Amino acid sequence: MKVSVGQFNPGGDVDGNLVVMRRLAASARDGGSALIVFPEESMFSVGRVEVDFAAAVDAQWTSFVQGLSLIASQVGIAVIAGGYESSGEQRPFNTLIAIDDDGRILETYRKLHLYDAFSYQESQRIKPGDGGLKVVPIGGLRIGIMTCYDLRFPEMARALAVQGADLICVAAAWFKGEHKIDHWQTLLRARAIENTCWVAAAGTSSGHCIGHSVIVDPMGVPQDFLKDEEEGIATAAVTRKRIDEVREFLPVLANRRLTSSYEVVPNITAPGGVDH
């Protein structure tokens, strides 16, 4: 199955962002892709919203999801993209939504690991998800989904692989900074190598983010990639055959002696201490 990652610079207007996503989705479909993965903040960039953030989320989440569904069904391609979903509280969820090529919602994933690092505190405005990990079937593959900072937690990718993920899709707005491109590229390749699975990562190309979207094979070899282009797609043929070939001579999942299990624990860095 051909898979594309779409890179762009989300603005503060949902409709305008959907126009760009439709253009990229159509380009991917014209190239034979059955799935396109878009970045975190595809709905809108927090820093570019001109009204109250929570109010914008309440007003725009449903129309964003409906817009994605229309793109998927009208273009004929499955879509994974990130936005902000109301939680019923002041802080919304940072949510990925997976939609099939008929426009049906397959799964939603609410970001578990909030970016409270490098002098940034995502938990001050975002509520952490507690719904666990998500693996969704698309086009004959099992696809695990994660968001940005999740990439720094190898146990999450391993749990997705143990649940049968052939491809891990990462939607990100990876901040620029010293060594940050190196971290991004190294972590993506490591997650692929240590789990002998494919990884497809879509990054935003805004002024404070690195872009560098890429698709990596189970040996950690980039198959197609972008750099800091403001808009574009990268595409690769993602196959079970390649996974089987690599696991024949590198059976790390079969050789492991420590079992994998996970428990979602409270977010201790949330405002006021522990987030229940």
Q: Which of 2, 40, 85, 169 is catalytic?
A: 40
- In the residue annotation, 148 being an active-site residue is answered as yes
Distance of alpha carbon 198 from alpha carbon 205, whole angstroms = 23
Instruction: Check if the beta carbon of residue 148 is closer than 8 Å to that of residue 59.
Output: no
Q: Which of 2, 85, 148, 209 is catalytic?
A: 148
Q: Which of 2, 41, 85, 111 is catalytic?
A: 111
- In the residue annotation, 111 being an active-site residue is answered as yes
- 3-state SS string for 187-207: HHHHHHHHHCCEEEEEECCCC
Q: φ, ψ for residue 34 (rounded to 5)? A: -100, -10
Distance of alpha carbon 36 from alpha carbon 224, whole angstroms = 14
Distance of alpha carbon 213 from alpha carbon 135, whole angstroms = 21
Kindly list the distances between the CA atom of residue 79 and the CA atoms of 47, 96, 105, 142, 183, in Å, as whole numbers in the listed order: 24, 10, 10, 14, 26
Distance of alpha carbon 125 from alpha carbon 107, whole angstroms = 23
- The residues assigned a catalytic role are 40, 111, 148
